[in-house]
Chain A
């Protein structure tokens, strides 16, 4: 991946946090769960859009990540590998590593930002079990979506695969919100993988709280 992509994702993390506090200053994150928990169904779409920014930047940075091994320079690399499965496995491992790294940075920045913004408490309260559960869910959701995008690239061109994935994400966020607000058609939620774990929209949050 190009260095410019790493920098772009980092910039987006800061923009996202800035937007979030700008439009929802009541939520100060000293738990790490503001990012990981997602937003409840009644939240305004402007705020949802700030959440989408992070996925959009990751999605863009992985554009052509697998397809580049089917054409051009990738062929030179590919034929030098002994086993055909090695390259795809290495790529999936790279994707998982980078998503974990990006998410870790995002959550840490959010906690640090929250810590310095919280003038009253000056402390960090992390429920470790809940944090780990939601962090893993968050990473896995992003990983599945990026895998969906790079799999599409095997049949479609890179920009079309990127577009389809991002339309799907936006559709998931919007229709997921509508379904939760209407209170019916919950089974359709299984088809809507949103760009963040949205544990506040599911039973996971309540199960842990209870």
Chain B
């Protein structure tokens, strides 16, 4: 799916969090979005996900303006800061509940995604008892289990140990090979060097260079 961001600006409390962003994300390409805290990375991901209406400009996915049509992108998986899963349920139940909305993923798809992130789908341990790393892994499973065409990952390796980070990179690589368009954010360019096809540097709500 092709994503075109044209002249997107967002002003919150008289401050420009996004300033005239124009970018094109091509199908099946892995984009590494980096910049320091408050540079606008998460805001950009939110506007692509349909969660943040821009003050100006538009976001088109396959030629359709997601804001004028009042729709979310049709096939998207996200991890955006402060997201969490329901603490009173186990991993499988959490994803099973989410799968009931779109009804495109089978139980086997859910179990397979949970296994891919290194968790056991048959484990009845409640999410409230998960470590931070386990929660982050389950968030990744949540993003990929419906095999979305677009993956927006906001610092997905947060709280994951070194071995886990390599596993997450492997999963993201597999998703890229499947043909998903991936936008992954990080504070440091080095984190993205191995995987990303293209890099976007952001600062003060602007794209510094592509």
Interface residues of A (CB under 8 A from B): 71-73, 75-85
Contact = CB atoms under 8 A, between A and B. Distances in A.
Contacts of A85: 70
Interface in B78-100: 78, 80, 82-86, 98
A80 B102 CA distance: 6
Contact of B98 (A80, A83, A84): A80
Given A71-B82, A72-B84, A79 B50 contact: yes
Nearest to B78: A79
Contacts, number: 46
B74 A82 contact: yes
Report which residue of B49, B51, B72 has the largest number of chain A beta carbons within 10 angstroms of its beta carbon.
Answer: B72
B202 to A, nearest CB: 21
A84 B72 contact: yes
Given A77-B98, A79-B51, A79-B76, A84 B71 contact: yes
A58 B182 CA distance: 43
B194 to A, nearest CB: 28
A76 B83 contact: yes
Contact of A81 (B78, B85, B101): B101
B51 A75 contact: yes
Interface of B: 49-51, 70-74, 76, 78, 80, 82-86, 98, 101-102, 142, 146
User: Is chain B's binding surface mostly helix, strand, loop or mixed?
Assistant: loop
Contact of A84 (B50, B82, B83, B101): B50
B140 to A, nearest CB: 12
Nearest to B88: A2
9 contacts: A75-B80, A76-B78, A76-B83, A76-B142, A77-B98, A78-B72, A79-B78, A82-B72, A83-B71
Report which residue of A72, A80, A84 has the largest number of chain B beta carbons within 10 angstroms of its beta carbon.
Answer: A80
Contacts of B50: 79, 84
B98 A79 contact: no
A79 B70 contact: no
Contacts of B85: 73, 76
Contacts of A84: 50, 70-72
Given A80-B72, A80-B146, 17 more contacts: A72-B82, A72-B83, A72-B84, A73-B84, A73-B85, A75-B80, A76-B85, A76-B142, A77-B101, A78-B72, A79-B72, A79-B76, A79-B78, A80-B98, A81-B101, A82-B71, A82-B72
